[in-house]
Amino acid sequence: MKPDTPLISHLKRPLAFLLRLSLGGLFIYSGLSKIGQPYHFAAAIQAYQLLPEFFLGLTAAFIPWLETVGGLALVVGCKPRSALLLVMALLATFIILIGLTMARGLDIDCGCGLLADRQVGWRVLAEDAILLLMAAWLYATLLPRSSVA
């Protein structure tokens, strides 16, 4: 370690690695739990009362695979920046949906696939916002060296 190099820069690489694995694992787990229970996830989507019934099955089939593929790409390290863009888009969508649901006063399960009976509310919103911030930090950390000023 050079004397003029701050310790934090040496910790950034392992921290980014652990964060990438954790975020990827979380999305794999969430996606697989929804793939394993498609009717339960479709019911959770329906409870939001935002989609016409025609799109429920398609959405319930598509979203878990996006989560799983994005998580796998993060864990394996295959196109991690692209995977992070996908994860950030999913998280931003979840945050918007949770906010709309809270504003409408619906008391429903979030459908996150992480724990049974997690109600939509400030806690779930804050958790998703923290995950989004972590993914954004990781995305910025993985910028190619030539593009960092």
The HSE-up count of residue 62 (CA atoms within 13 Å, CB side) is: 7
What is the sign of the dihedral through the CA atoms of 141, 143, 144 and 149?
negative
Residue 93 is assigned to a structural domain of this protein: yes
- Count of residues in the chain: 149
pLDDT over 90 for what percent of the chain? 66
Q: Do 35 and 68 form a contact (C-beta atoms < 8 A)?
A: yes
| Residue given tokens 């009976």 in the structure block | 117
- Alpha-carbon span 94 to 27, nearest angstrom: 13
Residue 148 is assigned to a structural domain of this protein: no
Residue 62 is assigned to a structural domain of this protein: yes
Determine how many CB atoms are found less than 10 A away from the CB of residue 128: 22
Q: In the predicted model, what is the mean pLDDT of the chain?
A: 87
| Residue given tokens 């709309």 in the structure block | 100
Burial group, residue 59, by CB count within 10 angstroms (0-12, 13-18, 19+):
middle
Residue 60 is assigned to a structural domain of this protein: yes
Range of the domain at 32: 8-142
- In this predicted model, which residue has the larger pLDDT, 22 or 8? 22
Number of structural domains found in the chain: 1
Residue 11 pLDDT greater than 60, yes or no: yes
Least confident interval from 42-46, 50-54, 96-100, 108-112: 108-112
**Under DSSP, is residue 148 helix (H, G, I), strand (E, B) or coil?**
coil
Q: What is the pLDDT of residues 32-48, one digit of tens each?
A: 999 988 888 999 999 99
Residue 147 is assigned to a structural domain of this protein: no
Determine how many CB atoms are found less than 10 A away from the CB of residue 34: 24
Least confident interval from 59-68, 87-96, 117-126: 117-126
Residue 29 pLDDT greater than 60, yes or no: yes
Residue 15 is assigned to a structural domain of this protein: yes
**Under DSSP, is residue 133 helix (H, G, I), strand (E, B) or coil?**
helix
Residue 125 is assigned to a structural domain of this protein: yes
Residue 1 is assigned to a structural domain of this protein: no
pTM passes above 0.75:
yes
